[in-house]
Structure 1
């Protein structure tokens, strides 16, 4: 299984929703809390090609996008294939 990185902030409902989807599928992920480690925000933005909102989700080297993008992959039955 590929490594999943998810950049989050506390009190972000979209972050909670994205993590809940991954948790419901028993998928482990590396949560990077940019509110607790603000020095990781700039690398997140660079890695996400300028996107600065959270969550930003990566599966391996692929930038998935945010919460809505993750759920879209799940609805299209494409998420499991990426893992």
Structure 2
């Protein structure tokens, strides 16, 4: 079973920091895959999100959110809290 929220990151990525910050403010528990710590995670991310994907790549449950901009867009639309609550209820 996959974690409720998963995020693939790389060091020095401002978008990765912003996405982690929003998830932390939302008190979302997430699993971070830092590709500097395990290079095979980059290949795994590309397999899941598509070759040439940028950082970060985020999943909430089985839904691929995309990157930081998409995560913040969900929050502005008022949909992020609902998504996070739905995966919290399943965990």
For structure 2, list consecutive stretches of 5 or more residues without a partner in the other structure.
85-91
- The two structures have a TM-score, normalised by structure 1, of 0.92
Counterpart in the other structure of 1:14: 15
- The two structures have a TM-score, normalised by structure 2, of 0.84
User: Aligned pairs, how many?
Assistant: 82
Counterpart in the other structure of 2:37: 36
Counterpart in the other structure of 2:77: 76
C-alpha deviation, 1:51, in angstroms: 4.6
Name the SS for the 1:58 alignment partner.
Answer: strand
Counterpart in the other structure of 1:63: 64
CA contact (8 A) 2:15 2:55 kept: yes
C-alpha deviation, 1:74, in angstroms: 0.1
1:5 aligns with 2:6: yes
1:25 aligns with 2:44: no
RMSD in angstroms over aligned alpha carbons? 1.2
Which aligned segments of 4 or more residues in structure 1 are displaced greater than 3 angstroms? none
Name the SS for the 1:26 alignment partner.
Answer: coil
CA contact (8 A) 2:58 2:65 kept: yes
For structure 1, list consecutive stretches of 5 or more residues without a partner in the other structure.
none
